[in-house]
Amino acid sequence: VFGKVSKIVCVGAGYVGGPTCAMIAHKCPNVTVTVVDMNAAKIAEWNSDKLPIYEPGLDEIVFKARGKNLFFSSDIPNAIAQADLIFISVNTPTKMYGRGKGMAPDLKYVESVSRTIAQYAVGPKIVVEKSTVPVKAAESIGCILREAQKNNANLKFQVLSNPEFLAEGTAMKDLANPDRVLIGGESSPEGLQAVAELVRVYENWVPRDRIITTNTWSSELSKLVANAFLAQRISSINSISAVCEATGADISEVAHAVGYDTRIGSKFLKASVGFGGSCFQKDVLSLVYLCESLNLPQVASYWQGVIDINNWQRRRFADKIIAELFNTVTDKKIAIFGFAFKKNTGDTRESSAIYVMKHLLEEHAKLSVYDPKVQKSQIVGDLESVVKAQDVARLVTVETDPYQAALGAHAIVVLTEWDEFTELNYQQIHDNMQHPAAIFDGRLILDQKTLRDIGFRTFAIGTAPDQAYNLFGTAGY
């Protein structure tokens, strides 16, 4: 039914669709890749010199392939009509209304794309869900497409699940050299053929033994479980960071010692102010919701604990700042270093910075933010979603220079692990702050001893306070 794939269309030109299609176009010169989006302004940016997302290595590949075998377009009907294979790569945010509010992913965009495909398809199409979706979403997509098939014998659809595992900031590396590619499909002859065609696309650059094929539901569930396990490791180490602060153990030493066990492994054991990003919280909540729907409350509450620890870690860090600044931050200037949810991205979705700053703003602190990649409008908009706009206007300033942000401040709070924060002149920064000046390292990137020698009071996640420098003992929580 399905011929060799030579035209690929991706619906959704976001953090997933854009980089993924750029890589496919780069690695498969014989395949034409067209990325479409209903947001025409975004498509215009993809066609300009300044791409809508920042991702190391992305510009280079896009500028090379664009206009040759990589196209960005707003003409969704035409693109769908031409395609052999269609990726659905639209957003699936957590629902903020109705049933499953705050838990279930919102599938309205996925459904709307499915209906658009049903409307404009001619001939056989392989439809691939790339967005992270709840288990059995392929079933809903298939149902809508089968309805169209009933009225038109020329139409043939197969729905595959091919979840994306790229992480922001390293997307191009992850895409070029993935640990694995996962493809789920039906075990019917047409299903197997569709899977084989998508395998063939990836085989252009991924070794065959790293391409895993499974049934559709295993593939969908594996994506949720992979993200839940990664998030769980961070909540596990963050829970232990509190034990370290109370005992004198050091979280970096503990993580190193524990991670050396090959059964455990060393990655994703970095204590922090809490995980952020568009995936972890959303996918863990989606898993919790799934388990509740399946009447498995014990499993649901086990995974809910991952989210609870993450929120607690953010709150705990903010409380520590307040306690160490003599239990009041009212009208005190505090410099915030970093707003993105991790380094090397301008993305702020679910960033812990939003929540730590919310707690500090509720105490009427004056916050001066510096982030090398996040625009002021983004920072203000994110904060306005959790704090009254008039308070944001009154209490928050955004600087384009870290020295300016720290000028006259009582404390610096590091919330994103940008490399440049390790290279600043902290002597100069200290000289221009209020004294005693404090640094709260929520990312464990700064050298505590150097800072203390300069005269800073320091506090780092998972590290017991140094009594010699900590004037007020373990103030606290």
Please report, in range form, the residues annotated as the binding site for NAD(+). Answer: 12-17, 37, 42, 90-94, 131-132, 168, 279-282, 349
Interaction residues for ligand ADP, span 96-155 (CB under 6 A): 109, 112-113, 131
Q: Per rule CB under 6 A, is residue 373 in the interface with ligand UDX?
A: no
414 phi/psi in degrees, rounded to 5: -90, 120
Crossing angle, helix 216-247 and helix 251-259, to 10 degrees?
A: 140
Helical residues (DSSP H) of 153-215, grouped into ranges: 171-176, 189-202
211 phi/psi in degrees, rounded to 5: -100, 115
* Stretch near ligand UDX under the rule CB under 6 A, chosen from 23-31, 164-172, 184-192, 324-332: 164-172
Q: Cα(446)–Cα(419) distance, rounded to whole angstroms?
A: 10
Measured from the CB atom, the residue of 169 and 465 that comes closer to ligand UDX is: 169
Q: 9-48 mask for ligand ADP (x: CB under 6 A)?
A: --xxxxxxx-------------------xxx--x------
Per the CB < 8 A criterion, the answer to whether 447 and 399 are in contact is no
Q: Which of 272, 304, 458, 463 binds ligand UDX (CB under 6 A)?
A: 272
* Distance from chain centroid for Cα 351: 9
- Which secondary-structure segment (H or E) carries 43? helix 40-46
In the complex, the smallest distance separating the C-beta of residue 37 from ligand ADP, rounded to whole angstroms, is 4
In the complex, the smallest distance separating the C-beta of residue 421 from ligand UDX, rounded to whole angstroms, is 14
In three-state secondary structure terms, 358 is: helix
Q: Which residue is nearest to ligand ADP (CB)?
A: 14
Concatenated DSSP letters of 378-394? HHHHHHHTTS-HHHHHH
Q: Per rule CB under 6 A, is residue 462 in the interface with ligand UDX?
A: no
Q: Which of 227, 281, 344, 458 binds ligand UDX (CB under 6 A)?
A: 227
Measured from the CB atom, the residue of 309 and 360 that comes closer to ligand UDX is: 309
DSSP 88: E
Q: Which of 241, 278, 281, 345 binds ligand ADP (CB under 6 A)?
A: 278
* Stretch near ligand UDX under the rule CB under 6 A, chosen from 135-143, 147-155, 277-285, 299-307: 277-285
Q: Cα(470)–Cα(430) distance, rounded to whole angstroms?
A: 17
Interaction residues for ligand ADP, span 48-107 (CB under 6 A): 89-91
Nearest Cα residue to 218 out of 161, 176, 261, 286? 161
Beta bridge partners of 128: 87, 160
**Tokens 């896009």 sit at which residue?**
62
Q: Cα(171)–Cα(388) distance, rounded to whole angstroms?
A: 35
Q: Per rule CB under 6 A, is residue 382 in the interface with ligand ADP?
A: no
- Which secondary-structure segment (H or E) carries 100? none
- Residue 244 annotated in active site: no
Per the CB < 8 A criterion, the answer to whether 430 and 444 are in contact is no
Q: Per rule CB under 6 A, is residue 269 in the interface with ligand UDX?
A: yes
Region for 124 from its dihedrals, namely left if φ exceeds 0, alpha if ψ lies in -120 to 50, beta otherwise: beta
Per the CB < 8 A criterion, the answer to whether 165 and 183 are in contact is no
Considering CB distances under 5 to 8 angstroms, the limit depending on partner class, which of ligand UDX, ligand ADP, none binds residue 165?
A: ligand UDX
Nearest Cα residue to 334 out of 321, 343, 316? 321
Q: Which residues contact 249 (CB under 8 A, 6 or more apart)?
A: 243, 464
Per the CB < 8 A criterion, the answer to whether 374 and 343 are in contact is no
In the complex, the smallest distance separating the C-beta of residue 274 from ligand UDX, rounded to whole angstroms, is 7
DSSP 105: B
Region for 408 from its dihedrals, namely left if φ exceeds 0, alpha if ψ lies in -120 to 50, beta otherwise: left
Beta bridge partners of 322: none
In the complex, the smallest distance separating the C-beta of residue 284 from ligand ADP, rounded to whole angstroms, is 16
Q: Per rule CB under 6 A, is residue 340 in the interface with ligand ADP?
A: no
Q: Which of 5, 9, 28, 230 binds ligand UDX (CB under 6 A)?
A: 230
Q: Which of 120, 165, 217, 477 binds ligand UDX (CB under 6 A)?
A: 165
Q: Per rule CB under 6 A, is residue 240 in the interface with ligand UDX?
A: no
Measured from the CB atom, the residue of 2 and 418 that comes closer to ligand UDX is: 418
Active-site annotation holder among 10, 21, 244, 279: 279
Q: Which of 157, 202, 303, 341 binds ligand UDX (CB under 6 A)?
A: 341
In the complex, the smallest distance separating the C-beta of residue 32 from ligand ADP, rounded to whole angstroms, is 19
* Stretch near ligand UDX under the rule CB under 6 A, chosen from 148-156, 165-173, 292-300, 360-368: 165-173
Q: Which of 164, 324, 371, 441 binds ligand UDX (CB under 6 A)?
A: 164
Q: Per rule CB under 6 A, is residue 312 in the interface with ligand UDX?
A: no
Residues that bind ligand ADP (CB under 6 A): 11-17, 37-39, 42, 89-91, 109, 112-113, 131, 278
Q: Mind telling me the catalytic residues?
A: 279
Residues that bind ligand UDX (CB under 6 A): 164-168, 227, 230, 234, 268-270, 272, 275-277, 279-280, 341-342
